[in-house]
Structure 1
Amino acid sequence: MIYTLSCGPTPDPYDYYVSFFSPYTKGSGYEPFYYTALTNFFGDPTPSEETANVADWQDYAGKGVTGKDIRECIYTYPKEQLSAIAEGSAALPDSVKQNTFAQFLGKEKNREAARYLLFAKSCEPAVTREDQWSAPKRNNAQMAALYTEGMELRDKVKDKEIRDRYSFQLIRLQHYSAQYREAVTSFDQLFGGKEKSSLVYYKALALKAGGLYHLEDSVQSAYLFSRVFEKAPSLRLSCFTSLMWTNTSMEQVYPLCKDSREKAMVAAIYGFTNAEPDVAAIRRVYALDPASPALNILLGREINKLEDAYFSPLLGEGQTDMVGIRDESPGEKTRMLAKLNELQMVTDDLVQKGKLKDPDLWRVSSAYLSYIRKDYPAAAQQLAAVRTKDPEIKDQWEIVNLLVNINQQKTIDSAFEAKLLPSLKWFDTKTAGIGNYWDRAWDGSDDKRFAFGKIYRNLLFAILAPRYHRQGELVKESLIRGRCDSLKMNDYFVSGETSLDQINNDMNPATLIRLKEFLHQPGKTPYESYLAGFFPKGINLDQAIGVSYVRIHDFGNARNWFKKAGPGALAVSFQVFHEQLQDFGEDTAVASYTKEITQLQFCERMLQLQEKMKTAPVPAKVYYDYATALFSISYYGRTWYFVKDYRPSTLWYSPDCDKDAFEKQYFGCYAAESYYAKAAQASTDKEFKARCAFMAARCSQKRAAGREDRNQYIHASINNRYFPLLAGSYGQTKFYQQAYNQCSYLRDYVKSTRKK
């Protein structure tokens, strides 16, 4: 037996449930703590540490020096280049001479800054490691020498900012030499106990916090990490991780806080650790500091948690095109609804108290929660109370207002479509130029636009497409899906079926013909023209209509449409008329079957076979070939792709399949079985009759009962109704022996009858 470990598609941890509430609204700097249940952190904070450092240097250098040049000089110039700049060498490359920061450093009065950067470049290899998977190997002698050199350089410097930067390097050298007590003492001595606003100050303070942790003063360490967390956004991710390593509680840290505002930040940090819906952190932080910016993040997290656990599965109910990550029990849904109601009550209560930093964001949030609860009048009332001029909050207001308006509309008619069009075009302005998801900028500059892209996609596939489907307007549904596809943000775990999927796999001939006629008709409304303009260009509707007719075994109409499609658009088979004795293999050219059979040629052959069936006596081979072709284009056949463009391995026959004409044959193989039986009756050759009986048995076995119960399924498969005929009437044929050797169900049946 061979055991195979394999992995299939996995959800995008930043896009795996339907969301209409952007975590980026008033959340800058807290990006790692936006909600996702599938990874430890959502993203990197803004600004990044590199960006914050460049900004500090730009403030130091003043006008005339660009951030781009500072970044290039600090992070790309080698040590030798910095040394030449610090020495005022004239032998510099033209690119360096043109760098505004290099020009600044080259001036005599700025040589202290240049020498510092040269020293920092020397320190970097000693305190970092290239291999993150291995323990660092520290050269303590080298770090001691650098420390001595740094102290000498610092003592000669008059510029306070450059002295602070040297102080940071010295503390860092001590810290990474495991001289934790000395590092703590150095911080207190070198920075004089006075809080500063620079990045290097907070990086040094974080080193002190780390030193205290190693000295087993975990509570003091946690407190200092919380201070750096609040004051230095670029360091939040590392400080949060370090604070969690202290293994302390917020109750232990509170006594060290100087005021309620500091306590509120501690409460928020611990609140970010909770992945379950819970308003306790919001209550705690508000009680300590109603204006805390962390409240917006905590609110967004709670809304996104409920979208994940409650709203997204709720939207997915009854939609076969939408893949749900969670499959909640009724009891869990009731619990989540209670959490939703609780969050709404807290949100409304805090808005009423009037002390929030961004009250209009909370009003919009309350409206969205009312929308989720399907209380549309309440949502509209809450939206009407918003008076913000903040562009981020106004954007979220527009989204919630649109959702409420759509759901208050009983029928999406042409009048409402005219009102809807400006909103769709508004989304276009928010998503312009984002391109493919994987081509986005990874520095975070595209994140907000991609958030709008996901919300627009969700609006199209999860709200508008189902509405048109329920109205029976399948052409409009297809247009909506086409617009959704054009965003290039489809995700299997969220949006499920694309317009191409719908056209190639689900639409019936009449709907596809209406779609083709609509796309070519003049006089469309502006709304219809907008959607039609995004319809996928690569779809051959003639071929798709032909396939839809093949699905219902209308080979005459299929042939006519395939003729219009053109030969280059048609799929090709080699073995569609070749019997398939086992459930594996592909329809490719083999020794006996090298001739291509297009979908058009297939239909013409099927029509020829149908004509021959009209004149008695019908040759057994006619029935057999017809049955074989029907089996070949079933779910189990090699040529399944003549009727579908995707065949998942998780589907199978169920009694519900009989309700749909296509699925009844695709999964149930009724017609194929019937024609195999007719072929057997029309023949006098026992070898051929045995072959027909076995193929009929294969068709029948596809409908074996009890797939949820392994034992019941095996029992039904062994007791196939054709096995007594095979074993009894054709047991002496060569084909029977072949079938007996390859089919374990047949062998088990024969063995069970022998025991009796």
Structure 2
Amino acid sequence: MKKYLLSLAVVSLFYTESDACAWSDPDYEYFNLFTQSIIKDKSYLPFLHSYSTRFYTDFRSSLIPDENIDAWKRYFNNQMSYAQTEYLVNKMSINDLNALKKGSPTNQLLITLGPGFYQKYHEGIDYLIEAKYLEPYMKINYIEGADSFYYREPGTGKNATNLDYNKTIAALTSLYNAAKNPEIKQRYGYQLVRFNHYTRNYDAAVKAFKAYVEPLRLKGAPYIMALDQLAGAQRGLGMNSEANWNFFQVFRDSKSRKESAFVSMKLSDTASFNNILKRSNTNEDKNMAYFLLGYEDFNNPIPVMEKMFEINPDSEILKVMAVRSINELERSYLPIYYYSNDDTITSQKNTADNNDVKNNSNTTEPKKEELSFWQKIIRFFKNLFSSKKDKGSDESKADQSDDELLDNPDRIPVFTKNNYWYDDKTKDFLDDLEKFTSKTKEKSKDEYWQIADAYLKFLKKDYKESTEILENIKTTNPEYLEEIKRMKVLNDIVSQPKIDAEYEDHLMKDYSEYFTEKPEVKKDSTETDEYDYYGEVPSTADFLKDVLANRYFLQGEDGKSFLMNNKLSDLQYNPNSSLVKSVEDFYRKPNKTQFEQQIIAKNINDVGNIDAFFAVIYGDRAMRQADFEKARSYYAKAQNFSGIPRSEWNYDDKKVTPLKYAAGAYNGLSNISDLVFGHNVWESYQSSPEESMKKEDYSVFPFIKPTMNKLELTDALIQLKKIGAGKNHDAATANQLIGNLLYNTSILGYYRQLFVMDIDNTNGGKYDFQTSDRKNPYQYYYKNFLDRTYIEPDNFDLAIGYYKKALDLSSDKEQKARILFQMASAEQGKYYQYEAKNPSKVDYSDPQYSEKSDAYQKQLDQIKNQKYRTYFAMLKSQYADTETAKDLLGSCTYFNYFMN
């Protein structure tokens, strides 16, 4: 099995779908709940489904039996175990065998076998000595050519041409003639064929096979090995049809050489396949040929499987085809992330449309409930006297009946177009495969087909029938039993209408192994370190956690849903008010169940003072709504706030540790400069505050301190708001300062980090105009919480409203010019929001892409000038002669463009 290393990363940087990540691996992007490797014939393990590698590799190579080792084990009359035989044949040194031959063995295994071992099996030992001498040279000589840039495995540099050809042939021929045991004799024949093949004496290799291998009429391991070499020589002679047929026989008869034989076959065209099919005289051969066709075919494999079924419904390779098909389906029904339908859509036509659009899933529509006349009457009166609620509200979700919960099309597992290579026919394929599996389980004696049928029923959400099938399976196969056990757990959990306290107790009592963390297993000191940058392979436990997160989400328990997949500290990256409230409600919930305490609440990680953490989030949201009094009430409860809970790499301790804020640094609550009330000189987030920002005249407002915490900031704003209610110059300036603060802390402002739980103004998802108008952009659960922006957008009209008051009260033309420019900047923010909600829908493949894109941009420019240039126009028409306007011409490129 692979070993996994979870690389350290700053998760807040990743706001896009996981598929966009350079480290994406498709074999890590679904839950492999139907274990592919439960097939009985382990020689087919390399042919299980994989997208990461050409052949499936996630198994121990020792699981695949080696017919050569089995043959040697029989030759030695089973005196040794399989492992001991494999050690003697493949790993024991030639010196150890020579010592045995001399009668003075030093190897412990050879000593244990006793002094008569060599005398009894001297022919076999002598052959192994010769074979181990030859082995380092048994590689074909590499010849530079057109393909010489291809990667070559590193090695000793030796090849077969380093041996004296005539002496080697003479020695092997002599040993062949001297051998009495037919099997050992055939092994020397194999060496003759191989040596001629690797020295590129292809014709001599073919003759050697006919002279030394074929006449012995043995079809065991040595024959298969020699046939493999013969096919290679025939390929060298251009005898492709003969080579394919012999490689095919190796593939059919060998257990350990199937992968290499498959690679050696050239079945890239229909004629090659038909040639093999014509030469297939037995049903087994035909079945194998159809398997090769189905394996290479990227289209629907069921027609090929039907042909294989007609030949032999008990065929092991038919099961391989089925398990590959199931694995393909799993990738659409069990992805590690379920994305909403509109995740790839950046906008709807307008806000009203967006709010009214029903967020249907990609699943098949649930069956309509057939109601009797009496049921219709009951439902009529029930609807008549019940109060109408928003279907999306938590209260409405909590009141759903079991039937409503079970019929929700967003209950996972659901079909999703998880990867780009799936087409719309994938859903239909589930129905077709289910029909085939149901038919095959009636004919085949192997319980595998019953398990597969039950699993497909599970994917179709027919949990009752799936469970019934599982209950009736009688088997002693340990791998089958393990799969059945897991599937029963899956059916139990996914079929539960509502996850309540009673069911949570059931989970902890009967399935705790899937939810409680297991102690970390210490690595053996001899174990080699391997690296895998894709993280841990998704497990059954991970899937069940996602199922429960989805169930809580559909039930309206967003806080529990969030904490199933995220840490409390993750709220800092998308501090959405309604979600934060739901998480807080769970945090404060008394009498939590054991499941809630041990499985969910464990994700309430260290954020310092939790009450202060929540208070800062609520206070920030109130500030963005310009509700300064409400914000103050929250900040008053946040004085124990220890800082936004970020981490950093500690080079001394060689580990990630909590970030220690430097003295005077902004930490989410304290150390806010009075420049937040100023205006930007130029738009540069990377420059220092003193370079980007300029103070207004604060002299008449001594309560504005040079450095403030958020409580002091709200105190200042409350006083400014009171002064702004007046009618004098100070009132105008007070409103201007409030407008400045609201703009400066918006997505466009230099201090945009202040009220979104961020530590600086560097870019990220929080500063994205492509926010959703929906209250909650999530359709399934919060697992991919950091992959998208989930924060209430700025209301630029709040800043514009205060600027308007300032403009109306001011009599200073220079001040009015500055205020108008600030209003125009805020209006620009409104345009950016509009533009993000109305992206171009022109397909890049459209032949008229350029013309349509230009027309779209022209339409945007027209809308921009008609609706979002009000204050720029006023500034140009009424205040172009002010010093402020002249200064802006030099510092603001866009204003200069607009004025000219």
Q: TM-score by structure 2 length?
A: 0.65
2:36 — aligned with what?
A: 23
Which residue among 235, 239, 257 is the counterpart of 2:280? 257
Q: What is the number of residues matched between the two proteins?
A: 702
What is the CA–CA distance in structure 2 between the aligned matches of 1:233 and 1:338, rounded to whole Å?
35
2:655 — aligned with what?
A: none
Deviation string for 1:685-741 (max 9, x for gaps)? 346335523432442232234332651334444553232133333434565456556
Out of 740-749 and 315-324, give the one that drifted further. Answer: 315-324
C-alpha deviation, 1:13, in angstroms: 2.4
Higher relative contact order (CA 8 A, sep 6+): 2
CA RMSD of aligned residues (A): 5.0
- The letter of the residue matching 1:215 is L
Out of 717-726 and 733-742, give the one that drifted further. Answer: 733-742
What is the CA–CA distance in structure 2 between the aligned matches of 1:269 and 1:239, rounded to whole Å?
12
1:54-133 equivalences in 2 (<5 Å): 67=83, 82-83=94-95, 86=98, 100=109, 112=126, 115-124=129-138, 133=151
- The letter of the residue matching 1:731 is A
1:274 aligns with 2:350: no
Which residue among 406, 416, 431 is the counterpart of 1:341? 431
**Cα–Cα, structure 1 residues 209 and 478, in superposed 2: closer, same or farther, change >3 Å?**
same
1:454 — aligned with what?
A: 539
**Cα–Cα, structure 1 residues 470 and 74, in superposed 2: closer, same or farther, change >3 Å?**
same
1:563 aligns with 2:631: no
What is the CA–CA distance in structure 1 between the aligned matches of 2:512 and 2:264, rounded to whole Å?
45
C-alpha deviation, 1:371, in angstroms: 2.7
Which residue among 798, 803, 809 is the counterpart of 1:671? 798
**Cα–Cα, structure 1 residues 314 and 89, in superposed 2: closer, same or farther, change >3 Å?**
closer
Out of 122-131 and 381-390, give the one that drifted further. Answer: 122-131
1:471-490 equivalences in 2 (<5 Å): 471-481=555-565
1:183 — aligned with what?
A: 205
Which residue among 863, 866, 873 is the counterpart of 1:724? 873
What is the CA–CA distance in structure 2 between the aligned matches of 1:137 and 1:539, rounded to whole Å?
62
Larger helix proportion of the pair: 1
1:3 — aligned with what?
A: none
What is the CA–CA distance in structure 1 between the aligned matches of 2:284 and 2:750, rounded to whole Å?
64
Answer whether contact 1:143 1:173 (CA < 8 A) is retained: no
2:773 — aligned with what?
A: 656
Deviation string for 1:583-621 (max 9, x for gaps)? 76448787789xxx9x99345424432343233325256
What is the CA–CA distance in structure 2 between the aligned matches of 1:736 and 1:204, rounded to whole Å?
90
Which residue among 708, 713, 726 is the counterpart of 2:860? 713
C-alpha deviation, 1:265, in angstroms: 1.5
1:144 — aligned with what?
A: 165
1:392 — aligned with what?
A: 479
**Cα–Cα, structure 1 residues 242 and 125, in superposed 2: closer, same or farther, change >3 Å?**
closer
1:693 aligns with 2:783: no
1:225 — aligned with what?
A: 247
What is the CA–CA distance in structure 2 between the aligned matches of 1:409 and 1:119, rounded to whole Å?
65
1:133-212 equivalences in 2 (<5 Å): 133=151, 140=161, 142=163, 144=165, 146-151=168-173, 164-192=186-214, 194-198=217-221, 201-212=223-234
What is the CA–CA distance in structure 1 between the aligned matches of 2:504 and 2:714, rounded to whole Å?
45
1:511 — aligned with what?
A: 582
Gaps of at least 5 residues in structure 1 are: 1-5, 483-497, 752-756
Q: TM-score by structure 1 length?
A: 0.76
What is the CA–CA distance in structure 2 between the aligned matches of 1:743 and 1:19, rounded to whole Å?
56
1:548-587 equivalences in 2 (<5 Å): 548-549=617-618, 550-553=620-623, 555-556=631-632, 558-560=634-636, 562-567=638-643, 569=645, 573=666, 577=676, 585-586=685-686
Out of 466-475 and 181-190, give the one that drifted further. Answer: 181-190
- The letter of the residue matching 2:136 is S
Answer whether contact 1:171 1:207 (CA < 8 A) is retained: yes
1:4-43 equivalences in 2 (<5 Å): 8-26=21-39, 28-37=42-51, 39-43=53-57
**Cα–Cα, structure 1 residues 89 and 222, in superposed 2: closer, same or farther, change >3 Å?**
closer
**Cα–Cα, structure 1 residues 349 and 34, in superposed 2: closer, same or farther, change >3 Å?**
same
Deviation string for 1:618-658 (max 9, x for gaps)? 52563144224421598994668625999349953467268
C-alpha deviation, 1:388, in angstroms: 2.5
Answer whether contact 2:617 2:757 (CA < 8 A) is retained: no
**Cα–Cα, structure 1 residues 272 and 117, in superposed 2: closer, same or farther, change >3 Å?**
same
What is the CA–CA distance in structure 1 between the aligned matches of 2:716 and 2:767, rounded to whole Å?
35
1:243 aligns with 2:327: no
What is the CA–CA distance in structure 2 between the aligned matches of 1:325 and 1:418, rounded to whole Å?
32
2:391 — aligned with what?
A: none
What is the CA–CA distance in structure 1 between the aligned matches of 2:544 and 2:831, rounded to whole Å?
43
What is the CA–CA distance in structure 2 between the aligned matches of 1:165 and 1:673, rounded to whole Å?
91
**Cα–Cα, structure 1 residues 670 and 317, in superposed 2: closer, same or farther, change >3 Å?**
same
Asked which structure has the greater CA Rg, the reply is 2
**Cα–Cα, structure 1 residues 663 and 279, in superposed 2: closer, same or farther, change >3 Å?**
closer
**Cα–Cα, structure 1 residues 149 and 552, in superposed 2: closer, same or farther, change >3 Å?**
farther
Gaps of at least 5 residues in structure 2 are: 1-18, 344-409, 624-629, 647-660, 667-671, 694-704, 725-730, 778-788, 842-855
**Cα–Cα, structure 1 residues 164 and 310, in superposed 2: closer, same or farther, change >3 Å?**
same
Deviation string for 1:122-172 (max 9, x for gaps)? 314666899852699977464736555544555566666665554444333
- The letter of the residue matching 1:666 is P
C-alpha deviation, 1:678, in angstroms: 5.0
**Cα–Cα, structure 1 residues 201 and 403, in superposed 2: closer, same or farther, change >3 Å?**
same
Deviation string for 1:319-341 (max 9, x for gaps)? 97999983799x954x3333221
1:249-648 equivalences in 2 (<5 Å): 249-309=272-332, 312=335, 316-317=339-340, 326=417, 333=424, 335-352=425-442, 354=443, 356-358=444-446, 360-422=447-509, 424-427=511-514, 453-461=538-546, 463-481=547-565, 501=570, 504-505=573-574, 506=576, 508-518=579-589, 523-532=591-600, 534-535=602-603, 537-540=605-608, 541-542=610-611, 544-549=613-618, 550-553=620-623, 555-556=631-632, 558-560=634-636, 562-567=638-643, 569=645, 573=666, 577=676, 585-586=685-686, 601-602=709-710, 604-616=712-724, 617=731, 619-620=734-735, 622-631=737-746, 637=752, 642=757, 647-648=764-765
What is the CA–CA distance in structure 1 between the aligned matches of 2:218 and 2:250, rounded to whole Å?
11
**Cα–Cα, structure 1 residues 364 and 704, in superposed 2: closer, same or farther, change >3 Å?**
same
Out of 101-110 and 532-541, give the one that drifted further. Answer: 101-110
1:489 — aligned with what?
A: none
Three-state SS of the structure 2 residue aligned to 1:119 is: helix
- The letter of the residue matching 2:285 is E
C-alpha deviation, 1:308, in angstroms: 2.8
Three-state SS of the structure 1 residue aligned to 2:26 is: coil
C-alpha deviation, 1:347, in angstroms: 0.9
- The letter of the residue matching 1:728 is S
What is the CA–CA distance in structure 1 between the aligned matches of 2:622 and 2:79, rounded to whole Å?
74
Three-state SS of the structure 1 residue aligned to 2:257 is: helix
Answer whether contact 1:310 1:336 (CA < 8 A) is retained: no
- The letter of the residue matching 1:455 is T
Question: How high is the sequence identity, in percent, across the aligned residues?
Answer: 18
